[in-house]
């Protein structure tokens, strides 16, 4: 049976956090994401999207690239990237071979990250500057 798992690591941490639900809240910072899957040695379309809510009208910025899983089913989805506050979407999907007369195994996996702004401890202090 096919499976797909996203793993998230914050810069400076040693541990990887499995993203076990489709919607995850994290704090702003630098993160990287890898995938572990049963699909070995295959090309994968990777899409990283950010909702730019501060613009009128709000719009979505999307980056695309092609990755490939290794013989162990591991693949870098996103290298260390600074995720700012807002809504981020990561999707990985099968790539249809060129000229395929019969549809191949079509699949798509994704996760939505709600990135929360980090509040400064200074906000809680009165300043006499």
* pTM for this prediction: 0.83
Name the pLDDT band for 126 (thresholds 50, 70, 90): low
Instruction: Summarize pLDDT for 100-120 with one digit per residue, the tens.
Output: 555 567 899 999 999 998 876
Give dist(CA 73, CA 109) in Å, integer.
14
Give dist(CA 114, CA 69) in Å, integer.
26
HSE of 20, CA atoms in CB hemisphere, 13 A: 3
Burial environment of residue 128 by CB neighbours within 10 A (0 to 12, 13 to 18, 19 or more): exposed
Q: Where are the domains of the chain?
A: 4-96+105-117
Per-residue model confidence (pLDDT) at position 72: 97
Residues 33 and 7 sit within 8 Å (Cβ to Cβ): yes
Q: Which residue has the higher pLDDT, 81 or 120?
A: 81
Question: φ and ψ at 85, to 5 degrees?
Answer: -60, 140
Average pLDDT over residues 27-42: 96
The arrangement of secondary structure in 4-96+105-117, i.e. its CATH architecture, is Sandwich (2.60)
Q: Is beta strand 4-10 parallel, antiparallel or unpaired with respect to 29-37?
A: antiparallel
Average pLDDT across the chain, whole number: 88
The set of residues, in sequence order, having a beta carbon less than 8 Å from that of 49 and lying 6+ positions away, is 60, 61, 62, 63, 88, 89, 90, 91
Instruction: Summarize pLDDT for 88-101 with one digit per residue, the tens.
Output: 999 999 987 665 55
């Amino acid at each position: 049976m096919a499976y797909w798992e996203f793993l998230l690591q914050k810069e400076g941490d040693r541990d990887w956090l499995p993203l076990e639900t489709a919607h995850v809240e994290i704090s702003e910072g630098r993160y990287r994401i890898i995938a572990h899957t049963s699909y070995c040695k295959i090309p994968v379309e990777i899409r990283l999207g950010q909702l730019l809510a501060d613009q009128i009208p709000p719009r979505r910025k999307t980056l695309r690239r092609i990755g490939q899983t290794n013989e162990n089913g591991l693949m870098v989805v996103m290298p260390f990237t600074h995720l700012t506050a807002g809504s981020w979407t990561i999707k990985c999907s099968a790539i249809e071979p060129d000229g395929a007369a019969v549809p191949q195994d079509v699949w798509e996996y994704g996760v939505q990250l709600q990135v929360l702004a980090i509040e400064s401890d200074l906000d809680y202090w009165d300043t006499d500057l």
